[in-house]
Copies of this chain bind each other. A is one copy, B any other.
Amino acid sequence: MQRRPQTRNTHQLQAVYQAVCQSSSHPSADEVYWHVRRNLPRISLGTVYHNLQRLVAQGKISVVLLGERTARYDPTTTAHAHFVCQQCGQVEDVFLSHTLLGIDLNVLARQGYRITAHNLLISGLCPTCGGRRSARLQ
């Protein structure tokens, strides 16, 4: 019942992985594609998608959905939340104390649910875009 790794260490796979790791902006598949093309000009977008899926399946990267239609990829696989600024669109990792959230998730577990993952998306204005000052913006 053991999963075959079935992963060949191709140049394309390495390049896709490094592109996600080097980016600090939670890149989309297309952004990874254009980044990788600088070193591997013949890589195709389909290959990028394939390798991103492979890396997600291996647990090396994670995929996050931030309220857009496009999936974004994240080299950080430990549990954390994401903040998206509604003005500049920037995405930031947020590390909250998950003990607090864990208390609530335990309530679900006691009801018979098995929790395997959770994603928290926070929207608002970052400090640069006027978060503090325009607190009454609505």
Main secondary structure of the interface of A (DSSP, over half): mixed
- Do A122 and B114 have beta carbons less than 8 Å apart? no
Q: Is the CB of A118 closer than 8 A to any CB of chain B?
A: yes
- Do A125 and B121 have beta carbons less than 8 Å apart? no
- Do B118 and A105 have beta carbons less than 8 Å apart? no
Find A97's partner among B65, B104, B120, B124 (CB 8 Å cutoff).
B104
**Residues on the B chain within 8 Å of A126, using CB:** 112-113
CB contact under 8 A between A124 and B117, given known A69-B69, A107-B96 = yes
- Do B96 and A125 have beta carbons less than 8 Å apart? no
Minimum Cβ distance to chain B for residue A48 (Å): 17
Find A114's partner among B67, B120, B131 (CB 8 Å cutoff).
B131
Minimum Cβ distance to chain B for residue A84 (Å): 10
Cα A86 to Cα B115 in complex, Å, equals: 10
Q: Is the CB of A8 closer than 8 A to any CB of chain B?
A: no
Q: Count of A residues near B, CB < 8 Å? A: 38
Cα A96 to Cα B69 in complex, Å, equals: 27
Find A94's partner among B108, B120, B123 (CB 8 Å cutoff).
B108
- Do A124 and B120 have beta carbons less than 8 Å apart? no
Find A115's partner among B67, B122, B137 (CB 8 Å cutoff).
B122
**Can you list 14 A-B contacts with CB-CB less than 8 angstroms, sorted by A residue number?**
A65-B67, A69-B69, A97-B104, A100-B100, A100-B103, A101-B101, A105-B122, A111-B127, A112-B131, A113-B124, A113-B126, A115-B123, A116-B125, A118-B122
